[in-house]
Amino acid sequence: MAERPQIKKENVKSLFESPYLRVADLQYAPGKHYYDATRRTMENLTAVKSDEEFQSMLADAVSCFVILDGEGEEPRLLLSYEFRYPAGQYLLSVPAGLIDEEDRDKPDALITTAIREIKEETGLAIQDTDSVRIVNPLVFSTPGLTDESNALVCAVLRSARLSDLSQEGAVGSEQFDGFCLLTKSQAREVLGTGRDERGKYYPLYTWAALLYFVSDMWRQ
């Protein structure tokens, strides 16, 4: 295993800070700089964590794979069209959101966040007959640009009523334009074409949800 460059806290410089985004200059060798767009404070950057801290750190947000599996009905993957400002488009997306500060120290922070975001973005409340589990505790978005990370959580809803679907829980900058309920064959088609039913490209987390659904991993 190659020895990794050590980025020390004293060699990290803040270039830009706002309440929601920061840009850090990571000096990884004399005269050598790399730049990191991050939600984290300079003291909590992933780049300066020890191996032990890295392996135990909490993700920034949670992305949810929501599957409706009602009795006697064909299972469907629930996605929605959410406006993504950097893309300037409504993109086929999974329910997702940041982990609240007050939840970060809870042992079930990922599940708590997932349940909240599913309720806010779909109107569906998790019931006793449903199951919610962690698929992956932390995956990076694009680590060549940012240290942002998401946990992946799967929620299988067995008693959800489509009449309860709602996007009125949107908060802040969130804007939605309807839902997309995909059967397994429809999800395969979206996977194969690389575009949604509106002909638009979609996020990698949507691709992951589609693949998880059609592979039947959610049944395991």
Average pLDDT (54-70) is 97
Domain ranges within the chain, ordered by starting residue: 9-56, 61-219
What pLDDT is recorded for position 172? 83
Q: Please, are residues 12 and 49 in contact by the beta-carbon 8 Å criterion?
A: no
| Model pLDDT for residues 140-167, shown as the tens digit of each residue | 999 999 999 999 999 999 988 889 999 9
What pLDDT is recorded for position 169? 86
71 vs 206, more confident: 206
User: What is the model's pTM?
Assistant: 0.95
Instruction: Pull the structure tokens for residue 116.
Output: 């909240």
What pLDDT is recorded for position 160? 84
| Model pLDDT for residues 102-139, shown as the tens digit of each residue | 999 899 999 999 999 999 999 999 999 999 999 999 99
| Model pLDDT for residues 84-104, shown as the tens digit of each residue | 999 999 999 999 999 999 999
CATH of domain 61-219: 3.90.79.10
Residue 189 has pLDDT above 90, yes or no: yes
Sorting pLDDT into bands at 50, 70 and 90, what band is 6?
confident
* Cα–Cα distance for residue pair 34/27, rounded to 1 Å: 6
* Cα–Cα distance for residue pair 123/129, rounded to 1 Å: 17
